[in-house]
Amino acid sequence: KLALNGQTAMITGGSGGIGSALTILFKRAGCNVIITGSNEDKLNTFLKSLPTEGGKAWAFACDLRNRQQVNTMVQKAAKECPPINILINNAGYALTANAPFWEQDMDNVESVMDVNLNGLMSVTHAVLKYHMMTRKPQPKGTIVNISSITGHQAPLKESFEASYHTSKMGVEGFSNVLRHELVGTNIRVLINRPGTVRTEFHSRRHMYDPEKTEATYAGACPLVAQDIAVGCLYQCLQPERISIVMLEMLV
Ligand code: 8X3
């Protein structure tokens, strides 16, 4: 029997980087997967490429910066898919690493906050409201928020990531409070805190310049997306009494 048979996970940012590894691994473990992403073409191409084995898969395009779109998307999932009992808030990005905070465009800074933090709270709010908290009896539920080492410590060198760090610190604060608010329910709130992972996240930050991207990884052996997915699966597989509230995986 597959470990997550009969369970259903919503994975934000599910078609790229860590998200695609999560989607493939959870599906293979028997979990139904509902993936969201802002790029509809990329999302649908990825959906078609998924292996057939394991759980079923759905994809919903959604701009997490738009709360109305988030609510509509989660309500649509409530109608068309099995009830969500796992939410993996994975979607997130950082600005191009070419300027310090005071030289960044504030619209771009706000956009990072809107996807990484406000969007994460909107999805969580809607999933709790329309799925996890409304069902009787209360189902067992797990929310995993993908943070980052930057959600915990300032960089040792200049990183041009003020908005990204701030958003991830917010994700951790939100997770820690929500965990307490949900004590007494069957829903646990967990954090997964990766270090440097070799994904498009870094290529994009360096405007797809391979040399600059490689410099990010220099002197270390970066993690790969599957490493984080395996850690996240481990958190979700634990029996109800065990909350791995923080899983930090560094290079
Ligand atoms: C990204 C972490 O340290 O690779 O979440 O910039 S780092």
How far apart CA 231 and CA 10 sit, in angstroms, is 17
Q: What is the rounded average pLDDT of the residues 89-115? A: 95
Ligand 1: residue of 89, 148, 213 to mutate (most ligand atoms within 8 A of CB) is 148
Beta strands in the chain (DSSP E): 8-12, 32-37, 57-61, 86-89, 141-146, 187-194, 246-249
> pLDDT (tens digit, 9 = 90+) per residue, 20-31?
999 999 999 999
Q: Is the pLDDT of residue 106 over 80?
A: yes
Q: Does residue 251 lie within any of the structural domains?
A: no
In this predicted model, what pLDDT tens digit does every residue of 37-67 receive, in sequence order?
Answer: 999 999 999 999 999 999 999 999 999 999 9
Query: How far, in Å, is the centroid of ligand 1 from the Cα of 205?
Result: 11
Ligand 1 pocket residue status of 185, Cβ below 6 Å = no
Instruction: Please report, as a single letter, which amino acid is at residue 204.
Output: R
Report the separation in Å between the CA atom of 13 and the middle of ligand 1, taken as the mean of its atom positions.
17
- 7 φ, ψ (degrees, to nearest 5): -95, 160
Q: Quick check: is 22 in a domain? A: yes
Is the model's pLDDT at 158 over the cut of 80?
no
Domain that holds residue 126: 8-242
ipTM over the 0.95 cut-off: no
Does the predicted TM-score (pTM) go above 0.90? yes
> Residue 227 Cα, ligand 1 centroid: separation in angstroms?
15
Nearest-angstrom CA–CA distance, 37 and 42: 8
Q: How far is the CA of 151 from the centre of ligand 1 (A)?
A: 9
Residue type, 187: I
Max alpha carbon distance in the chain (Å)?
54
- Please report whether residue 248 resides in a domain: no
Ligand 1: which of 117, 196, 203 to mutate, judged by most atoms within 8 Å of the beta carbon? 196
**How many structural domains does the chain have?**
1
Percent of the chain with pLDDT over 90: 90
Tell me, yes or no, whether 53 lies in a domain: yes
Instruction: Among 115, 149, 251, name the best residue to mutate to test ligand 1's pocket (greatest count of ligand atoms within 8 A of Cβ).
Output: 149
Q: What mean pLDDT is predicted for residues 100-112?
A: 96
Is the minimum distance from the CB of 199 to ligand 1 under 6 angstroms? no
Using the atom order of ligand 1, give the atom closest to the CA of residue 197: 4
251 touches ligand 1 (CB under 6 Å): no
Model confidence pLDDT, tens digit, residues 198-242: 999 999 999 999 999 999 898 889 999 999 999 999 999 999 999
Q: Is residue 250 included in any domain, yes or no?
A: no
Give distance in angstroms: CA of 25 to centre of ligand 1.
Answer: 22
pLDDT higher than 80, residue 156: no
- Residue 41 in domain: yes
Taking the C-alpha atoms of residue 99 and residue 186, their distance in angstroms, rounded to an integer, is: 44
Task: For residue 235, report the phi and psi dihedrals to the nearest 5 degrees.
Answer: -60, -40
**C-beta of 149 in contact with ligand 1 (< 6 A):** yes
| pLDDT at residue 160 in the model | 87
| Domain at 78, CATH number | 3.40.50.720
Among the ranges given (67-81, 93-107, 109-123), the one the predictor scored with the smallest mean pLDDT = 93-107
What is the per-residue pLDDT for 159?
80
Lowest mean pLDDT among 32-41, 96-105, 123-132, 182-191: 96-105
**Statement: residue 135 has pLDDT above 90:** no
Residue 247 lies in a domain: no
Q: In sequence order, which residues have a C-beta less than 8 Å from that of residue 166 and are 6 or more positions away?
A: 113
Q: How many CB atoms lie within 10 A of CB 226?
A: 15
In percent, how much of the chain has pLDDT > 70?
Answer: 98
200 within domain boundaries: yes
Nearest to 35 by CA among 52, 69, 12, 18: 12
Q: Is the CB of 90 under 6 A from ligand 1?
A: no
pLDDT of residue 180: 97
